[in-house]
A and B are shown apart, each in its own frame.
Chain A
Amino acid sequence: MMAGNEAHISNDNLAAELNAWLDAHWDEERRCEKDAARLDVGSWLGKLLDAGYSVPTWSPQWFGRGYDSKQARVIDDILKARKVIGRSQDRYNLGAVTVYRLGSEQLKSALLREMLTGAHSCLLYSEPNAGSDLAGVRTRAEWVAGEDGGEYIITGQKVWTSNAKGATYGMLLARTDWDVPKHSGITFFIFPMQQDGVDIRPINQITGESEFNEIFINEARVPARNIVGELNGGWKVLQTALAYERLIMGEGATERQGKVKSKVPPLVELAKRHGKLQDPVIRQKMAQAIAYRQLNALNMKRAKAEIIANGSSSLMSLGKLAMSRIQHGEARVAADILGPASLLDGPDFQDSAEMNFDSAKAYMNSIGGGSDQIQRNIISERILGLPREIEVDRNMPFREVKSG
């Protein structure tokens, strides 16, 4: 590993060291390794990993430098500015983070390097009958004896998986015990995607996009050593993995929020283009929609200040629910501004097309990643301390739980 591998290096020295290393190894203009004919992603990511810049907050034993988040931020800023591929995988590579945080030493040895040098992974959590009630997964994992702990035969259907094509691994939730209550019979696997019996079909979404896929798994295999955590302990592993996912999504959301800097709100511009800026009813609706967005931004600003002061903030968890009201609300006001033109679509009617897209896309926030109704449960139970709704299937053997 390179010099300067001490956790107490100053930010200036760290920046100088990284910049010197990049000068020697990275061609910023061509976005590839210096003196290479073209970008070889695997080779480049390996180089960055060995230099200690891919996962700087991890322990030196596992490719890291034991840095704190501020030092990691210094590295991230430079890598971002110099258009380097593969930055901050300790924040963004969900598969690798899950294995690093929760996997056995054996699993880390087997997978981490591969996962950090281009083998990407996808999520195999939701099922057609296990959406909000994720613990209701029915994908079956049957153990068969063999070397090294044997393997599991997987059969079932997963849904809402993005980046499935080309994925090397899937983070799979499957049922390994049907005779215990639903939370107690689930196991978390790192499942090899490139094998017979794995069929990926894109979902055509209401926005016209196809980011997500359905995955049909028919007697595909996963080695027993690819279990993360304990056998039947998958629910606990999932909670941690979901927390990382929310963290990543939350960071993304605040970074995106920071980029919206146009002074005049887009709804005002839209109203101007369509001659509705002086309509008093439209003005009231626009003001309210714009206010909801600003109020949420102010809440998130307070949340950040509280996190800096106290380490946590209950305000943070209000953001996603508030965002649903903002996105659906803005699209509704945009439709009111457009009037009958909101019936139109396509390249000749750009504003209409954009509004129609936004009004469908708003469901991505209000359903995906825990619907608004689930968010309200979380807020009222975890922040306000209200009791949980009684769950009829909580202590029932899963075999007897109704599904449909």
Chain B
Amino acid sequence: MSEISTEDRNAMRDSFARLLAAQAGEKALRETMASPHGFDENLWKSMAEIGLLGLIVDPEYGGIGGDAQILEDLMEEAGAHLLCSPFLSTAVMAASLISASSEESLKAELLSSICDGSRIYAIAATGEGGLWTNADVGIEAHKTGDAWILDGTASFVLHAEKAGHLLVLARSGTAIRVYLVDPATDGVAIEKLETNDPTLRLSRIRCAGARGTALDGVDETVIEAALDLVRVALAGEHAGGVKKIFDLTVEYLKTRYQFGRQIGSYQSLKHIAADMLIEVESAASAARYAAKLQAAGSPEAKAATSLAAFACADAYRDVSAQAIQLHGGIAYTWEHPAHLYWRRARTGLWLFGSSDQHRETYLTCLETA
């Protein structure tokens, strides 16, 4: 459980919200998504200054020692603004993996570079199948003398182009371990993938005899925990995003007139809005519950995380799709923001496991409860 007080948590969320309002409005968002690397370096620096990048890093290593709950809370703000940044890969996944490392000096150096915003981390965690399972890891590690040599392909890697370090999941025998790789080293090729969501940055990484450093102490359990943490973070982002696009839609139903009346007075539309509200609130409930159980180290956290993962992703998909329909023609234009939420919604359906996979995991947890 985190030591952070409720007042500090609220203050943190407020300052993040102010920062996003000032620097990550729709105009800034559209500039950022059109930029080569898909994130705003000034905003990234500001996030480091208010302590966000070290959110889950232990204070001993320069962070603020936050838990899943505060992370989820802040991600709701990020989601409402469609924040594009390497936050999930750097401040959540990399921070989580590295924090479990048993090599003190390396750990201290890496974590400090996360907290101060000086280095972006990209995580090569899944293969071409994009399943985020152990079986789908597509890179093999072999020991040659003292060095680890990596061969194979990883895909769906977030924000790899500007990464100062890659954390590569690779198989050695039957074990999956994490290797620190310099992207500039020989035998590493990073290939940008074109994405449907312009706010998303994905790459394929090919390793051919690339040299890496094993992160001692980081095993399958740590990897699974890091994935579950990022799932809760993404669920929180979705809960915030789905609420925002829903609010925009309800507002439109009140201000748009057709046939001499507000279109929100038609039952064919307002009934859809009522159904959407259940999805929006369920998403928030699920994300917050999963975060709470993770922070408490509950044995039911796995089930709750899977539930949040598919409930939030599906809610975001359905509500953002209806949002376009309810807006009508105006939302069929690139200038209207509805499609950006609709595109972002797809990330939760496929990043870190699919909704169908999460439903399967959820049921398995309940069966064995």
Which residues does A use to contact B, with CB under 8 Å?
263-265, 268, 277, 280, 283-284, 286-288, 290-291, 294-296, 298-299, 301-302, 315, 318, 321-322, 325, 373, 375-377, 379-381, 383-390
Contact = CB atoms under 8 A, between A and B. Distances in A.
A268 B363 contact: yes
- Counting from the closest, the 5 A-B pairs by CB-CB distance are A380-B270, A298-B285, A287-B359, A376-B274, A386-B264
A181 to B, nearest CB: 20
Interface stretch (B115-123, B276-284, B329-337): B276-284
Contacts, number: 110
A376 B265 contact: no
Contacts of B278: 299, 318, 321-322, 325
B235 to A, nearest CB: 12
Given A376-B271, A384-B250, A386-B264, A264 B360 contact: no
10 contacts: A264-B367, A296-B282, A318-B277, A325-B278, A375-B274, A376-B274, A380-B264, A386-B270, A386-B273, A390-B261
Nearest to A288: B359
A284 B265 contact: no
B356 interface: yes
B274 A389 contact: no
A288 B266 CA distance: 30
Contact of B356 (A284, A301, A375, A377): A284
B266 A291 contact: no
B265 A315 contact: no
B175 interface: no
A395 to B, nearest CB: 17
B311 interface: yes
B265 A388 contact: yes
Given A375-B274, A380-B271, 7 more contacts: A284-B360, A299-B282, A376-B274, A381-B270, A385-B250, A387-B262, A389-B267
Contacts of A325: 278
B143 interface: no
A287 B253 contact: no
B39 interface: no
B363 A283 contact: yes
Given A283-B360, A379-B274, A290 B366 contact: yes
B74 to A, nearest CB: 19
Contact of B285 (A264, A295, A379): A295
B270 A376 contact: yes
A291 to B, nearest CB: 6
B303 to A, nearest CB: 9
- The B contact surface, by secondary structure, is helix
A384 B253 CA distance: 10
A302 B285 contact: yes
A291 B360 contact: no
Contacts of A302: 281, 284-285, 288
Contacts of B310: 291
Nearest to B303: A294
A186 to B, nearest CB: 24
A263 B264 CA distance: 42
B316 interface: no
B366 A268 contact: yes
A271 to B, nearest CB: 9
Contact of A263 (B271, B284, B285, B369): B369
Contacts of A379: 274, 277
A263 B311 CA distance: 21
A388 B254 CA distance: 11
A290 B359 CA distance: 10
A287 B277 contact: no
A288 B306 CA distance: 12
Interface string B229-263: 00000000000000000000010011000000110
Given A263-B369, A264-B367, A373-B271, A291 B307 contact: yes
B360 A287 contact: yes
Given A381-B270, A383-B277, A287 B282 contact: no
B369 A387 contact: no
A58 B278 CA distance: 36
A302 B266 CA distance: 30
Contacts of A287: 359-360, 362-363
A383 B250 CA distance: 11
Contacts of A298: 282, 285-286, 289
B275 interface: yes
Interface string B180-214: 00000000000000000000000000000000000
Contacts of B282: 295-296, 298-299, 322
Interface string B279-322: 00110111011000000000000000001001100000000000
Given A295-B282, A384-B250, A264 B261 contact: no
Contact of B273 (A280, A299, A380): A380
Contacts of A385: 250, 254
Interface in B317-369: 356, 359-360, 362-363, 366-367, 369
A387 B359 contact: no
B254 A377 contact: no
B294 to A, nearest CB: 15
Contacts of B262: 386-387
B243 to A, nearest CB: 13
A389 B266 contact: yes
B274 A380 contact: yes
Contacts of B362: 287, 290-291
Nearest to B267: A389
Contacts of A299: 278, 281-282, 285
Given A291-B362, A302-B285, A384 B273 contact: yes
A264 B369 contact: yes
A28 to B, nearest CB: 37
Given A318-B278, A377-B267, A386 B366 contact: no
